[in-house]
């Protein structure tokens, strides 16, 4: 696999850490070492930022047409290397190969979209209050962007951010998750082959040990103009605080607590099919994954039985590289401990597992059974916390007023799902749900074209759409005076 790189990427060069330290990347299926890569520190991060800052002096003044052409070449190469990228994703994250190919297609869609969008980041001509003056409003790239990405979609989260910032004219330093850096390095390799100039994209790799010190530099260095982060709300708050010392822009896509609401008028079979996508995509390890299934009491039993049957049939746990497997391992032991702790707490307090409820030790120490929980009460941790695993929690409700109260009773506000054939109800729910995204009768809402993002403690800013590129720009007002001279 020519895309399996074992060095970091700075200024167009494949490099080691300044200390020559390394750390292993392992396959979560069996803990086999895939590669050993540089364990970089704050000094390496500073080097990469300085390179990005110097490169911005030229890249920031290239034409939108040129940037669009470069992004298009990168997209074409990623498309033609889909299978190899997917193999790398599967080996380091554990997700099934077919799902990894889906992630690559999703990630590539952002490169294609921003290749088209680069030439549409427009300014304004504002009517002037003065007869001899003209008001111009232009969008200019902010500069160097620190990009910090998660492990659950290690390729797509990079293309979604980097495609947007490159379209705007920015440069970047990427710190991928310590669990899944090989996907980022593969993306950088293809960017290099596509002719992305040296210094526009830089990738530094770090172990968990160095992540805090590197993150501090990436947030506080004066050359950095913006921090783009996808991950937990807890870490997002820390980065936001660090960014505040320099009053830097932030684009934060943080945790969710998505309600999946099913009303009596819904097509139950369709709702169950969509529930499988909303819950078990990437084995539940998705920020927009359905976290709470709120089912109207009139159809609760029917939905739960159908859901149980579908989980039994469709959730096939195993090594993601094997044919037919639909659910792989959780990414690391911390995730296993978190998920099993939430389920154990609920069961000990009276919840019932209709399916699953334990680690599948016969497969390995990171495989958690696809689980369906009922009789969940507000005093259980799983009632209010983001699960981020293959556990579906079903709750009853009586009417719109009650379900809105339960759904909105969270500091998270990313995604939400509503199933109804009542048109008025659909519009009411869309208006009253306190979430940045609402899907009506669908369990998948991500695409390159719409603005992706949340409200409350689920983030700041939007990704995808033209708004995603505009996040990496500043508005400049220019007054042209003396036009009557």
Confidence check: pLDDT of 1 > 90: no
In the block, residue with structure tokens 């100039």: 197
pLDDT tens digits for 167-225?
999 999 999 999 999 999 999 999 999 999 999 999 999 999 999 999 999 999 999 99
pLDDT tens digits for 364-392?
999 999 999 999 999 999 999 999 999 99
Interval 307-313 mean pLDDT: 98
CA-CA distance, 286 to 242, in Å (whole number)?
26
Check residue 183 and give its pLDDT: 98
In the block, residue with structure tokens 């030790």: 361
Confidence check: pLDDT of 397 > 80: yes
pLDDT tens digits for 252-265?
999 999 999 999 99
The yes/no answer on whether domain 258-448 falls in CATH 2.160.20.10 is no
Check residue 220 and give its pLDDT: 97
User: Confidence band (pLDDT; 50, 70, 90) for 21?
Assistant: very high
pLDDT tens digits for 316-344?
999 999 999 999 999 999 999 999 999 99
User: Confidence band (pLDDT; 50, 70, 90) for 244?
Assistant: very high
Q: Mean pLDDT score of the chain, rounded to an integer?
A: 97
Contact 144, 173 (CB under 8 A): yes
Tokens of residue 321, six digits: 């590289």
Confidence check: pLDDT of 43 > 90: yes
Burial annotation 189-223 (CB, 10 A radius, 16+ → b, else e): bbbbebebbebbbbbbbbbeebeeebbbbbbbbeb
User: Confidence band (pLDDT; 50, 70, 90) for 19?
Assistant: very high
Domain formed by 8-254+457-477, architecture: 3-Layer(aba) Sandwich (3.40)
Check residue 414 and give its pLDDT: 98
Confidence check: pLDDT of 307 > 90: yes
Interval 133-140 mean pLDDT: 98
The residues with which 36 forms a beta bridge, in sequence order, are 24
Check residue 93 and give its pLDDT: 97
User: Confidence band (pLDDT; 50, 70, 90) for 55?
Assistant: very high
Q: What's the order of all strands across the beta sheet hosting 201-203? A: 13-15, 8-10, 201-203, 171-175, 144-148, 224-230, 249-253, 459-460
Interval 309-322 mean pLDDT: 97
Q: Strand pairing of 473-480 and 134-141? A: antiparallel
Query: What residue spans in the chain does CATH classification 3.40.309.10 cover?
Result: 258-448
> Catalytic pick from 112, 253, 457, 470?
253
Confidence check: pLDDT of 352 > 80: yes
Check residue 485 and give its pLDDT: 82
Check residue 103 and give its pLDDT: 98
Query: What residue spans in the chain does CATH classification 3.40.605.10 cover?
Result: 8-254+457-477
Check residue 58 and give its pLDDT: 98
Active site residue 253: yes
Check residue 402 and give its pLDDT: 98
Q: Is 464 left (phi over 0), alpha (psi -120 to 50) or beta?
A: left
User: Confidence band (pLDDT; 50, 70, 90) for 31?
Assistant: very high
* Surface-to-core class of residue 248, CB atoms within 10 Å of its CB (0-12 exposed, 13-18 middle, 19+ buried): buried
Check residue 295 and give its pLDDT: 98
């Amino acid at each position: 696999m020519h895309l399996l790189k074992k060095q970091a990427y700075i200024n167009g060069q494949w490099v080691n850490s300044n200390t020559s330290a390394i750390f292993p990347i392992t396959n979560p299926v069996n803990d086999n070492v895939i590669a050993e890569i540089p364990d970089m520190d704050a000094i390496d991060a500073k080097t990469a930022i300085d390179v990005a800052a110097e490169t911005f002096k030229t890249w920031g003044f290239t034409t939108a047409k040129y940037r669009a052409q470069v992004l298009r070449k990168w997209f074409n190469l990623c498309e033609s290397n889909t299978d190899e990228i997917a193999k790398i994703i599967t080996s380091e994250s554990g997700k099934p190969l077919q799902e990894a190919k889906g992630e690559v297609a999703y990630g590539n869609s952002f490169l294609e979209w921003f290749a088209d969008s680069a030439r549409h980041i427009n300014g304004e001509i504002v009517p002037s209050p003065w007869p001899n003056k003209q008001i111009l409003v232009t969008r200019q790239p902010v500069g160097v962007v620190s990009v910090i990405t998660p492990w659950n979609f290690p390729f797509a989260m990079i293309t979604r951010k980097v495609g947007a910032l490159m379209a705007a004219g920015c440069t970047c330093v990427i710190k991928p998750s310590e669990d899944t850096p090989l996907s980022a390095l593969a993306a950088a390799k293809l960017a290099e082959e596509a002719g992305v100039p040296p210094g526009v994209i830089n990738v530094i790799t770090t172990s968990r040990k160095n992540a805090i010190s590197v993150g501090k530099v990436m947030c506080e260095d004066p050359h950095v103009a913006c921090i783009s982060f996808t991950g937990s709300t807890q870490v997002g708050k820390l980065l936001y605080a660090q960014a505040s010392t320099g009053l830097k822009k932030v684009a934060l896509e943080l945790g969710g607590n998505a309600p999946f609401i099913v009303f009596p008028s819904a097509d139950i079979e369709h709702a169950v099919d969509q529930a499988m996508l909303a819950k078990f995509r990437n084995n539940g390890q998705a920020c927009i994954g359905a976290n709470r299934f709120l089912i109207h009491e009139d159809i609760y039993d029917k939905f739960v039985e159908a859901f149980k049957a579908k989980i039994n049939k469709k959730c096939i746990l195993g090594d993601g590289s094997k044919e037919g497997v639909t659910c792989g391992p959780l990414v690391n032991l911390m995730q296993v401990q978190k998920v099993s702790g939430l389920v154990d707490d609920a069961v000990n307090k009276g919840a019932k597992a209709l399916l699953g409820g334990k680690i599948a030790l016969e497969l390995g120490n990171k495989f958690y059974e696809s689980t369906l929980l009922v009789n969940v009460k507000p005093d259980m941790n799983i009632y209010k916390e983001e699960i981020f695993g293959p556990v579906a929690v079903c709750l009853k409700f009586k009417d719109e007023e009650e379900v809105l109260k339960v759904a909105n009773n969270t500091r998270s506000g990313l995604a939400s799902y509503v199933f109804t054939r009542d048109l008025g109800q659909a519009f009411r729910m869309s208006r009253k749900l306190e979430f940045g995204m609402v899907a009506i009768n669908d369990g998948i809402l991500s695409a390159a074209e719409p603005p992706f993002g949340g409200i409350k403690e689920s983030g700041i800013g939007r990704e995808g759409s033209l708004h995603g590129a505009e996040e990496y720009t500043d508005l400049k007002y220019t007054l042209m005076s003396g036009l009557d001279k």
